[in-house]
Amino acid sequence: MWWIFAILIGLVISIIVQALTPKPQRPPPPAVQDLADPTAEAGRELPVLFGLLTIKGTNILWWGDKAAVQYEVAI
């Protein structure tokens, strides 16, 4: 019968610890203007990708204006 008491104490302690743990704050999403511009340099290596990867520094010749467009849907 003592093991039921031990399980209840463990559950109460875990609930208290979970309630007192500080929650991490999410950083704000980056604005469109904060994104890095791609560059075009002669002699720069071109990465070869296999699978799903994120390329931070691309080497391209043209990039359009950075903008965020918000659309409204008429119902």
Decide if 18 is inside a domain. yes
Beta partners for 39?
Answer: 59
In a domain, 52, yes or no: no
Helical residues (DSSP H) of 1-75, grouped into ranges: 2-20
Q: What is the pLDDT of residue 6?
A: 94
DSSP letter, residue 48: -
Query: Using 50, 70 and 90 to split pLDDT, how confident is the model at 63?
Result: low
Residue pLDDT, tens place only, 4-54? 999 999 999 999 999 999 988 888 776 655 666 667 777 777 777 788 877
Please report where in the chains the tokens 């002699």 appear, as a residue.
43
Query: Is 15 within the bounds of a domain?
Result: yes
Q: Tell me, yes or no, whether 48 lies in a domain.
A: no
* Total structural domains within the chain: 1
Classify residue 12: in a domain, yes or no: yes
Q: What is the pTM of this model?
A: 0.35
- 7 occurs within a structural domain: yes
| 42 DSSP 8-state letter | T
How high is the pLDDT of residue 66? 67
Does residue 71 fall inside a structural domain?
Answer: no
